Amino acid sequence: MRQLKEDTIKSNLIESQQSAFGPVCVYQNEGYRWLTLAQKTNEDITIQGVMNLTQTEQVIVPINQCMLLFLLKPVNTLNILNLGLGTAGFERIMYYLQSNSPYINAINTFNTVEINPHIAAIATEHFNLPNNHSTYLQCAEQYIAQCTEHFNVITIDIFSGENHLPFLTSDNFWQNINRCSEQSTQVIVNLNPQTGQELQMLLALLRQHFKSLALIEFNEYKNIVIILSQHTLMHINVDEIQNSPVFINFAPTLYKSINSIYHIE
């Protein structure tokens, strides 16, 4: 990722669009294609997602690999909701696993919510998002408030720059998430709390809505991933990740990137 920030220069720019949410830019070097939003100087560059040009299904960043931890336990039929499209890395790996591996039996429903239509268009043109994928162009909070379907996997990866959006601290939002969930649903959230107090308040809120929480810290990233469920999450641990056939094949070094996993049950 550090090298990609150094390569985020005009000569590597292949697409630039001005959206209502700021500039959306796509860069490419010999090995990778990546997306940035609203950067002004090198110090401000935030890379939103990366695609390996030779193995487009590859999930590169450990944080994004952890969004797949629901695969530690087999699920017969997946009903997936992904809040936040980015470079469609989650969509690419899920379709790849469905077509090219024994780890997913069936995907019944797969919806993605993205507020920025420019990102949706770029994900289709530059990041291999299938044209027929169900993408809803609206605010995730609004989608969840109006949702009438039920999902057994919900992934949330929504940021404004490096900050997660305020509605993630809203009691109503998590009530609506539960309303759209099945009994066995796992909710997986990428977060970047700015202070320990902010994290503590968020955990207290989440504990009101979910019986089990697993919090994952990384060695080289300040983001954390939180997994939420009404069932135990004690199976989410470094040993299980290291020995899982899914992660041995598709994220073999993930367990080395994890600093700690904490459970609240």
Provide the residue ranges of all domains of the chain, joining segments of one domain with +. Answer: 2-52, 62-264
What is d(CA 136, CA 149) in angstroms, rounded to the nearest whole number? 14
**Does the pLDDT of residue 32 top 80, yes or no?**
yes
**Does the pLDDT of residue 232 top 60, yes or no?**
yes
What is d(CA 124, CA 88) in angstroms, rounded to the nearest whole number? 8
**Does the pLDDT of residue 203 top 70, yes or no?**
yes
Residue 153, C-beta contacts closer than 8 angstroms, at least 6 positions apart: 70, 75, 78, 79, 80, 81, 185, 186, 188
**Does the pLDDT of residue 64 top 80, yes or no?**
yes
**Does the pLDDT of residue 40 top 90, yes or no?**
no
**Does the pLDDT of residue 252 top 70, yes or no?**
yes
What is d(CA 170, CA 173) in angstroms, rounded to the nearest whole number? 5
pLDDT band at 11 (very low <50, low <70, confident <90, very high): very high
- DSSP strands (E only) in the chain: 13-19, 22-28, 32-37, 47-52, 77-83, 106-113, 134-136, 151-156, 159-160, 163-164, 181-191, 212-218, 224-229, 258-264
Give the tens place of pLDDT for each residue, 141-194.
999 999 999 999 999 998 655 556 788 999 999 999 999 999 999 999 999 888
Q: For the residues 39-57, what does the mean pLDDT come to?
A: 79
Paired sense of beta strands 134-136 and 163-164, if any? unpaired
Q: For the residues 232-254, what does the mean pLDDT come to?
A: 96
Question: What is residue 105's predicted lDDT score, i.e. its pLDDT?
Answer: 87
Question: What is residue 162's predicted lDDT score, i.e. its pLDDT?
Answer: 57
Q: For the residues 91-120, what does the mean pLDDT come to?
A: 95
Which region among 45-49, 134-138, 182-186, 217-221 has the lowest average model confidence (pLDDT)?
45-49
Paired sense of beta strands 13-19 and 181-191, if any? unpaired
pLDDT band at 196 (very low <50, low <70, confident <90, very high): confident
For residue 191, give Cα distances in angstroms to 78, 165, 188.
Answer: 24, 10, 10
Question: What is residue 160's predicted lDDT score, i.e. its pLDDT?
Answer: 54
Question: What is residue 46's predicted lDDT score, i.e. its pLDDT?
Answer: 78
Q: For the residues 120-134, what does the mean pLDDT come to?
A: 96
CATH class of 62-264: alpha beta
**Does the pLDDT of residue 211 top 90, yes or no?**
yes
